[in-house]
């Protein structure tokens, strides 16, 4: 019998992270045979999330294992992280030997700042896709977009789709399907409006006005700075 290879999955953590961008794919990937999960931040202090609680990293940048799968989640803290040299250097350094380089939501822009999306097809949260060309990426509408060993996923809940897609690539469809069943990922939302293509126009307009117009402008400013 062939032993299951160890797969180191390294998630970048930073202040202002959207916790589900991290915890959803981490939950699925942690069940993949051979997976070892690491949550890595600049220091070992608790990381404030956007949900009112903190996450404690398992490693700092200096002690992090080399990733087989590098995953960069998103969140409103991305705009600040874009200007943090240590964070961008960590992404670039890890990506050199990672088998897969991935992101959830606006984590795509951190990959982009590290030079990893130039000429790549990519996706991100729907409110920010128009900014992907600022990091050299070709925007693609989709919950999961693969371009070589770079996998980007859309907003928040897309992280589960990304994780199951990658598990199928690494361990086969049956393993991915078993994990999907184990976590009962069988979406049946009460409303059909999880994307602007399907949501009522008034709901989309209101959310953009109250949240995402300003958030996207802040992201654009951060991306446009040196």
CA distances from 68 to 11, 94, 99, 156, 187 (A): 11, 9, 5, 22, 29
Least Cα distance to 11 among 72, 76, 77 occurs for: 72
| Adjacent-strand bridge partners of 8 | 36
Told to judge if 105 belongs to the known catalytic residues of this protein, a careful annotator would answer yes
Q: Which of 105, 117, 160, 176 is catalytic?
A: 105
Q: Which residues carry out catalysis?
A: 105
């Amino acid at each position: 019998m062939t032993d299951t290879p160890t797969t180191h999955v390294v998630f970048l953590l930073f202040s202002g992270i959207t916790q589900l961008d991290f915890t959803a794919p981490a939950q699925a990937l942690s069940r993949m045979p051979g997976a070892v999960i690491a949550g890595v931040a600049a220091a070992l202090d608790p990381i404030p999330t956007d949900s009112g609680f903190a996450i404690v990293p398992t490693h700092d940048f200096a002690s992090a294992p080399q990733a087989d799968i590098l995953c960069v989640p998103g969140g409103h803290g991305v705009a600040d992280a874009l200007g943090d040299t240590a964070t961008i250097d960590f992404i670039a350094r890890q990506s050199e030997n990672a088998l897969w380089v991935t992101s959830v939501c606006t984590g795509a822009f951190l990959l982009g700042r590290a030079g990893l999306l130039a000429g790549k097809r990519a996706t991100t949260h729907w409110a920010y896709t128009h900014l992907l060309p600022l990091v050299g990426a070709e925007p693609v509408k989709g919950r999961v977009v693969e371009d070589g060993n770079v996998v980007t996923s859309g907003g928040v809940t897309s992280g589960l789709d990304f994780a199951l897609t990658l598990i199928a690539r690494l361990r086969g469809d049956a393993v991915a399907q078993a994990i999907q069943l184990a976590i009962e990922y069988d979406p049946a939302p009460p409303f059909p409006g999880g994307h602007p293509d399907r949501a009522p126009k008034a709901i989309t307009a209101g959310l953009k006005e109250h949240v995402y117009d300003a958030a996207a402008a802040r992201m654009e400013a951060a991306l446009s700075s040196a």
